[in-house]
Structure 1
Amino acid sequence: MNFETTKNFASQLDNNDSLAHFRDKFWIPTLNSISKNTNSSNEKGKEKVVYFCGNSLGLQPKTTKAYIEQELEDWKNLGVEGHFHGKNPWLSYHKLLTNQTAKIVGAKPIEVVVMNNLTVNLHLLMVSFYRPNQKRFKILMEGGAFPSDQYAIESQVKFHGFSPDDAIVEMMPRKNENSEGEETLRTEDILKKIEELGDELALVMFGGVNYYTGQFFDLEKITQAAHKVGATAGFDLAHAAGNVPLKLHDWKVDFATWCSYKYLNSGAGGTSGVFINEKYADDDSLPRFAGWWGHDEKDRFKMKKGFIPMRGAEGWQLSNAQILPMAVHKASLDIFEEAGFENLRQKSEQLTVYMEFLIENFNKEQSKIKIKIITPKNKLERGCQLSLVFDKEGKKYHETLTKRGVISDWREPNVIRIAPIPLYNSFMDCYRFYEILKEIAV
């Protein structure tokens, strides 16, 4: 498609967008709501912001309140009997999320369960899948991974009696002879490093999408390479689930976990999801930290000693379901089901390509500042996030954008992350961002 830098063209794209009506299913903040000192009677302040921060916290579906109120009503009217006689009985509430979750990550229902929070799940999974010995003990991860992953992996390594300096291998982008670096990792370099580590490698533990650059790693090839040398492959999909197409079962990934409050729009601190490959469904020899909700549900309430795990991912559960966070999550999953992930991915690619076009034209049209996009240009290697580096005063421009009603986020040392989300962002949002950029660059 040949894009144009006009308001009419952006409007035309929105008019032709079959998913445009999903925007009305979300609460979009106004300038007044994000500013402490704006006069509420100011018409300008009543404008909806350009919300490009769904990669940090997704917007609230308008149905969320009703989903929570349903469970509150059952609690009010039924008390403990809500576990059995509520509209959505709490005893099996987590099962309501299983099929939809499996579709989003490309899994079989037996391979997924919604539980806990992301870093808790990462630790629980590493108990089972990081089993080092004196020969095979190293973990390969991307350099500059999200800090929580770094802390979790470092503490797991120490727990097993190894030094992080010896056990953790971080992959960094290439640098040339002048120490000028590339922004993202090359797949061939990752695969080569896995081969080099060979029988010293116990686990490959990457983010599915790097939080800083927005690079979507080739999880299938990484998994194949890990298995070839006898290592396991696990992924933190915090920035991937609900954002990029995933086929965890087909790719033979060993395990993965993700949060639900970013692209899955399930509220701050929302519940997490877990994938554990079907080949481990009946493997009760794997070590795990057990809890009663992971015990065989046929005998769960007999209160006997001796843990017998549920088949599949459910066998890693610890405690009974977090009903209110799961109700929030269900509201969003129902919207994903209605929209269809393939449709969302198609729009996501078009939004980011259009945004890329506008930024490139912005660079051509003025000389005061230049913006570099460090996210891979290949749409197959990214989701809907674009990471922008301003050639000067990036943080100041981020603060100015926020005051003008563009909600993005700043990541040290020098990146502004923007994420046009296909469920609730429009092409006009992209155009407004472009117009505001031109105004503040004067």
Structure 2
Amino acid sequence: MSFQNTLAYAQAQDQADPLRTFRDQFHIPQQNGQDTVYLCGNSLGLQPKAARAAVEAEMTKWAELGVEGHFTGDSPWFTYHATLAAPTARVVGAKPEEVVVMNQLTVNLHLMLVSFYRPQGPRYKILTEAGAFPSDQYALESQVKFHGFDPEDAIIEVAPRAGEHTLRTEDILRTIQENADSLALVMMGGINYYTGQVFDMAAITQAAHAAGAVCGFDLAHAAGNVVLHLHDWDVDFAVWCTYKYLNSGPGGTSGVFVHERHAQNPDLPRFAGWWGHDQSVRFQMKKGFIPMPGAEGWQLSNSQILPMAVHKASLELFDQAGMDNLRAKSEQLTAYLEFLINGLQQPKEALEVITPAEPSARGCQLSLLVHQNGRQLFDTLMANGFILDWREPNVIRVAPTPLYNTFEDVYRFGQFLAAHFQR
């Protein structure tokens, strides 16, 4: 695609964008009475305008029906989570029975590790990426300690080569193969939060299985961002949050994927809870856990109806837009952002994009490594209506999100950067 660094070009692209009307479905934060340029969907997605009405509907039901809201009215709370299964499956490339919305991300990660990190004899190690999001690091560390292992020995971290910022797929696959006799689990982020690198989940899963290990992913930065095929890739399990690209509110609910070969196995060890028990006999209150078939069998407690109502409103937008369409626009927006940044012609010693250049190896985030006065630049951008994300020690994460960002947003950001570096 041939880009142009002009306002007229950006506006023409927006006018031709088949997804342009979705921006109107979101509240855009204001600064001095003007729309901000919100490029922070990788940290917290914007509020769908339908979210308030969705929550109000459940509040009204609670007010009018009380406890009977569990069993009467539209979308009874008893089965509310089930209404999210099909649209969730479409976002992550799964069968509806392989997904469930529940809890929050790290809780779900621990639940998955209970079932899928099963060290036996010499096979006790976990492979992950160096620099994983802290929640993943802490979860893995505490899980191996729980089983009596030293994290320094039991956790293998794959790091970029010297002088590089991202991982090479061949290095990940080689490390899996080299540790095939001791690996119990490969657990990585689908996208690294810091660099924005998308990992080859299909190849990693295949290599893990060839080594005799289980494979799972934290998709916090991938769900709703890139096209996923969890079932077809043969991934064993995955978890994700819904408050980033899935726009479901701060601290919103989480999603889980369990491949059907595991999800239909009632004998798989798990931490059990009442809501995961066979719903046909749940209210008999008897001993003896009988898991629901599918991913629903990992549920613990009653559904979080109010957060789920927000999530349902957001998933309806994803169904209307379609992940393939969103991904196509995302690639164009991110490539335009890259074009504008490259046009600054800054030396690497001043400004460096550490996100891969290959579209297949990145989502809609570019991580800008600012070597001098990075925090000052970030603060200046924020003060001028550009909402971005800072990560220590010197990275500004920029995420043009296809549901609500525009080419003009990206152009305005590029113009501001140009003015900054021309001083």
Question: Does the alignment reach a TM-score above 0.5?
Answer: yes
Which amino acid is 1:390 matched to? V
Unaligned residue ranges in structure 2 (runs of 5+)? none
- Report the alpha carbon displacement of residue 2 of structure 1 after superposing the two structures with TM: 1.1
Tell me if the contact between 2:239 and 2:256 (Cα under 8 Å) persists in the aligned partners. Answer: yes
Note the alpha carbon deviations across 1:178-204, whole angstroms, 9 max, x for none: xxx211000011000000001200000
What secondary structure, in the 3-state scheme, does the structure 1 residue paired with 2:127 have? strand
Which amino acid is 2:400 matched to? P
> 1:202-351, aligned counterparts within 5 Å?
202-351=184-333
- Report the alpha carbon displacement of residue 281 of structure 1 after superposing the two structures with TM: 2.5
* Counterpart selection for 1:373 from 353, 370, 378: 353
- Report the alpha carbon displacement of residue 391 of structure 1 after superposing the two structures with TM: 2.9
Tell me if the contact between 1:363 and 1:369 (Cα under 8 Å) persists in the aligned partners. Answer: no
- State the alpha-carbon separation in 2 of the partners of residues 102 and 89 from structure 1: 21
Tell me if the contact between 1:171 and 1:190 (Cα under 8 Å) persists in the aligned partners. Answer: yes
Cross-structure match for 2:10:
10
> 1:32-431, aligned counterparts within 5 Å?
45-175=32-162, 181-363=163-345, 370-431=350-411
- Report the alpha carbon displacement of residue 87 of structure 1 after superposing the two structures with TM: 1.9
RMSD: 1.1
- Report the alpha carbon displacement of residue 287 of structure 1 after superposing the two structures with TM: 1.0
What secondary structure, in the 3-state scheme, does the structure 1 residue paired with 2:71 have? helix
Which amino acid is 2:363 matched to? G
Tell me if the contact between 1:208 and 1:217 (Cα under 8 Å) persists in the aligned partners. Answer: yes
Tell me if the contact between 2:371 and 2:394 (Cα under 8 Å) persists in the aligned partners. Answer: no
Tell me if the contact between 1:374 and 1:386 (Cα under 8 Å) persists in the aligned partners. Answer: yes
Larger deviation: 251-260 or 133-142?
Answer: 133-142
Note the alpha carbon deviations across 1:42-87, whole angstroms, 9 max, x for none: xxx1111000000000000001000000000000001011111122
Q: How has the CA–CA distance of structure 1 residues 198 and 72 changed in structure 2, closer, same or farther, with 3 Å as cutoff?
A: same
Cross-structure match for 1:30:
30
- State the alpha-carbon separation in 2 of the partners of residues 238 and 331 from structure 1: 19
Unaligned residue ranges in structure 1 (runs of 5+)? 32-44, 176-180
What secondary structure, in the 3-state scheme, does the structure 2 residue paired with 1:387 have? strand
- State the alpha-carbon separation in 2 of the partners of residues 115 and 47 from structure 1: 37
Which amino acid is 2:85 matched to? T
Residue identity (%): 64
- Report the alpha carbon displacement of residue 212 of structure 1 after superposing the two structures with TM: 0.2
Note the alpha carbon deviations across 1:278-302, whole angstroms, 9 max, x for none: 0012312211100011011111111
- State the alpha-carbon separation in 1 of the partners of residues 348 and 251 from structure 2: 40
What secondary structure, in the 3-state scheme, does the structure 1 residue paired with 2:100 have? strand
Tell me if the contact between 1:139 and 1:203 (Cα under 8 Å) persists in the aligned partners. Answer: yes
Tell me if the contact between 2:279 and 2:292 (Cα under 8 Å) persists in the aligned partners. Answer: yes
- State the alpha-carbon separation in 2 of the partners of residues 55 and 14 from structure 1: 21
What secondary structure, in the 3-state scheme, does the structure 1 residue paired with 2:342 have? helix
Larger deviation: 83-92 or 164-173?
Answer: 83-92
Tell me if the contact between 2:356 and 2:362 (Cα under 8 Å) persists in the aligned partners. Answer: yes
Count of aligned pairs:
422
Note the alpha carbon deviations across 1:24-54, whole angstroms, 9 max, x for none: 10000011xxxxxxxxxxxxx1111000000
Cross-structure match for 2:416:
436
- Report the alpha carbon displacement of residue 369 of structure 1 after superposing the two structures with TM: 8.3
